[in-house]
Structure 1
């Protein structure tokens, strides 16, 4: 069986390739050393190698999110397994929703990687239907929550957006009041309005929600 490894950490990829080759697989790590390496060139290399199994890193650094390659790789006939440092079930679910056969933590053992390759080789599933449904449901729920948060954030006035942006930077109420040349009571009133619109109970929750959906105040 031919295996393709797409991982920006070449030492890790080469070590993984050596282990799998000792098990009798033909393994090709995709090179990341060229200055013009991009998502398109990496995907093209992955498709050109035509691995029956593709071990795909989630975080490809400056190139971007590896999950963007799951659908085209799967469409080519490859079984994709996401390699990730995260244990976020929503992230795992999104990968599976995109077509990944399974997910492996990068802290897993080489024995687990070999066992995964063996299951793919033997045409066995990596997850039960119930497991797939559960992680996909988690991903969809998080997506819906993020959409709802973004809608609420759009309700903020420019002034409230500025204040939320300052809170995200760790600014205190007194510092915000000094910067905006207003009394602290005014800032606290505006924060209450922000919490009401976001349907949050605390500044910490509001800041956390904004960070979670990647919101940034545009000055």
Structure 2
């Protein structure tokens, strides 16, 4: 027999203890059956997912930045598949990341700065089977995600177009090494390194070393193992 609305089982996954406790108290006062899943030291993402599935919650309030357990985004899809309604509550303002959660099945995304009343009202709407977002809001966030995904793919293609030498140089730039230091490492002239840097900027379609490093970091690119220049 399904639980009555007031006895909805809600799981909380939140790495800020005070915020998690506030949610737990507020939801309990509303009559919900609240289960706060602790983020134990060294807890892996898979262990956290197992704990959440065991909780058998109807609704999961999920943070996105979970310390050692990693990103909450990867938990959305398996939780939704288990039958849980996932409501993301995050301090991350990255709209593309919000859209990714929606693509994976989250019912809505709330800013952590939202009032407790807003979060409680959202839980009530889930229990009542009501829509949590307008079609326009959802589509706009999903559009952010797809745009960023496409942009990341294009950046990776540009990175792959770098020669092995250029990849090595970019790797050193990502470590904060100056042109002079890179030249000394590979026993070449600074002019040679500057030529390589210029080519890197051109291929990545950016105007500065800082922007090149930022582009590589944004897609979590890492250079191949350093090799000695011929």
Structure 2: tracts of 5 or more residues without a match? 1-7, 226-230
1:11 deviates by 4.0
Alignment match, 1:33: 40
Q: Matched residues in 1 for 2:117 and 2:195: separation?
A: 57
CA distance in 1, matches of 2:46, 2:82: 15
Q: Deviations over 1:43-90 (max 9, x none)?
A: 222222222210011122222221111112112222101122210110
Aligned to 2:48: 42
TM-score (norm 1): 0.91
1:167 is the counterpart of 2:137: no
- Contact (CA 8 Å) 1:10, 1:31: kept in 2 or not? no
Q: How many residues align?
A: 218
How far does the alpha carbon of each residue in 1:106-128 deviate from its partner, in whole angstroms, 9 at most, with x for none? 23322222122122122222211
1:1-219 matched pairs, under 5 angstroms: 1-33=8-40, 37-219=43-225
TM-score (ref. length: structure 2): 0.87
Q: Contact conserved, 1:6 with 1:56, CA < 8 A, in 2?
A: yes
State how far apart, in whole Å, the 2-side matches of 1:188 and 1:70 are: 45
Shift of 1:196: 2.1
Q: Which consecutive residues of structure 1, in runs of 5 or more, have no partner in the other structure?
A: none
How big is the alpha-carbon RMSD for the aligned residues of Structure 1 and Structure 2?
1.8
